[in-house]
Amino acid sequence: MDFKIIHIKETDSTNHWLKEHGEGNMVVVADYQTAGRGCGSNSWESERGRNLTFSMLIHPENILAKEQFRITEVVSVAMCRMLQSYIYNKVEIKWPNDIYVGDKKICGILIENRLQGTEIKDSIIGIGLNVNQKEFKSDAPNPVSLYQLTGQETDLEEMLMAFLDCFDSELKSKTTCFTYREMLFRRGKDSLYRSKTTCFTARLTDVLPDGRLLLVDQEGRECTYAFKEIQFII
């Protein structure tokens, strides 16, 4: 997929910028976001010029609205593959689309799909990847940067290009949905979770095609959860 790539020094949020100015297949990269958004009402901390904060606008013609979780799979797997080419540590996907190294978050993804009937009109994929930041000051839970893992600075432009290559490959791949599940953080392990009512131990066994998480509790009962219905206790 060919992208028009635009670099800007500062904007409120690259997702927001693309909503206002995006056309065709486009990537907008910002040195700094004054109001970078995380999931829900969270903000996204990123020191000026030290990390990759960018958004992509795509028009996924062969993905129906009911299959929109495929976009999450493609982006998450592409990000893991790209990062895995930079570090030896295992890179995993914390459902649905946080990218983790060990128990720490290196990348957050915010996908906003605009639907038209049964089709996806377009999709804005916002990515915050912690690359060269040396310390994190906000109360963001367990962040980590590539620099903190390797002790080396990495060229941001080169990483962006490497990610776009991986994204293109995963978009064409027929096995991304399997790879996504293989890359899941805590897959097959008994771990602690918090639902709206209680904390409990369960084993993460699968993610359904619509993106719901499948857990099996200690009594062997299967339960499915939509995003926000369950939290990982880290």
Residues that bind ligand BTN (CB under 6 A): 13-15, 33, 36-39, 42, 44, 53-55, 98, 108-110, 126-128
Contact present, 37 and 60 (Cβ < 8 Å): no
Minimum distance between the CB of residue 1 and ligand BTN, rounded to whole angstroms? 19
Minimum distance between the CB of residue 65 and ligand BTN, rounded to whole angstroms? 22
Minimum distance between the CB of residue 205 and ligand BTN, rounded to whole angstroms? 24
Minimum distance between the CB of residue 140 and ligand BTN, rounded to whole angstroms? 9
**Of 40 and 220, CB closest to ligand BTN:** 40
Q: State how far the Cα of 184 lies from the Cα of 205, in Å rounded to an integer.
A: 10
Among candidate residues 35, 76, 69, 67, the one with its CA nearest the CA of residue 167: 76
**Of 22 and 128, CB closest to ligand BTN:** 128
Backbone angles phi, psi at 209, to 5 degrees: -55, -25
**Residue found by looking up tokens 């959860």 in the block:** 225
SS3 assignment for 14-35: HHHHHHHHCCCCEEEEEEEECC
Minimum distance between the CB of residue 142 and ligand BTN, rounded to whole angstroms? 12
**Of 60 and 143, CB closest to ligand BTN:** 143
Contact present, 160 and 199 (Cβ < 8 Å): no
- The strand ranges marked E within 88-158 are 91-94, 98-101, 104-116, 119-129
**Of 64 and 140, CB closest to ligand BTN:** 140
**Of 148 and 222, CB closest to ligand BTN:** 148
Query: Pairing between strand 52-58 and 26-33?
Result: antiparallel
Residues in the chain: 234
**Of 42 and 173, CB closest to ligand BTN:** 42
Q: Which residues lie closer than 8 Å to 185 by C-beta, 6 or more apart? A: 92, 93, 94, 95, 100, 232
Minimum distance between the CB of residue 128 and ligand BTN, rounded to whole angstroms? 3
Minimum distance between the CB of residue 58 and ligand BTN, rounded to whole angstroms? 14
Contact present, 10 and 31 (Cβ < 8 Å): yes
**Of 38 and 211, CB closest to ligand BTN:** 38
Q: Which residue is nearest to ligand BTN (CB)?
A: 108
